[in-house]
Amino acid sequence: MGPAASISLSGAFAAGNRLGISAQNVANARSIGARPGVEGQLPYQPQAPAQQAVAGPDGQGLGTRVVARPVTPPFLAEFQPDSPSADAEGLVAAPNVDLAGERVEQLGSLRSYQANLAVLRAQGKMEREAMDILA
């Protein structure tokens, strides 16, 4: 496998990881809990994907990877006085998830995945054509 293929594969895997992190955020967006400092279970803490370059021992680029970093602030106060997690003021903690932003992240992940697969297909085609020329 050539460097273009390994870089494209790492980009495709990174795009999949970005999509997975965003999907977790969306799935847990309404999981309320107790506010920090109040007894009870905290809600889901959303994560933000951070893409990083991966370099080999010689400093040459080998691809990319994604790490999940906590969103700050992790929680927003919501008024839900009937919730068992509510404090004396009727407030609960809700994950700080921006659904519109998550949709944009998901679309960007999809396009990144598609672009990386297109590079893989193009490299395969070039290798086949080079073999035809040499044959």
Quote helix, strand, coil % in the chain, to nearest 5.
Answer: 45, 20, 35
The pLDDT of residue 2 is: 73
What's residue 4's pLDDT?
Answer: 81
Q: Mean pLDDT over residues 48-59, rounded? A: 90
- Could you tell me the residue range of the domain that residue 107 belongs to? 3-134
At 134 the pLDDT is 87
For residues 80-95, give the mean pLDDT. 95
CB atoms within 10 A of CB 22: 24
Nearest by Cα to 75 from 89, 95, 46, 102 = 95
Query: How crowded is residue 23: how many other Cβ atoms within 10 Å of its Cβ?
Result: 14
- Indicate the number of domains in the chain: 1
Global model pTM greater than 0.85: yes
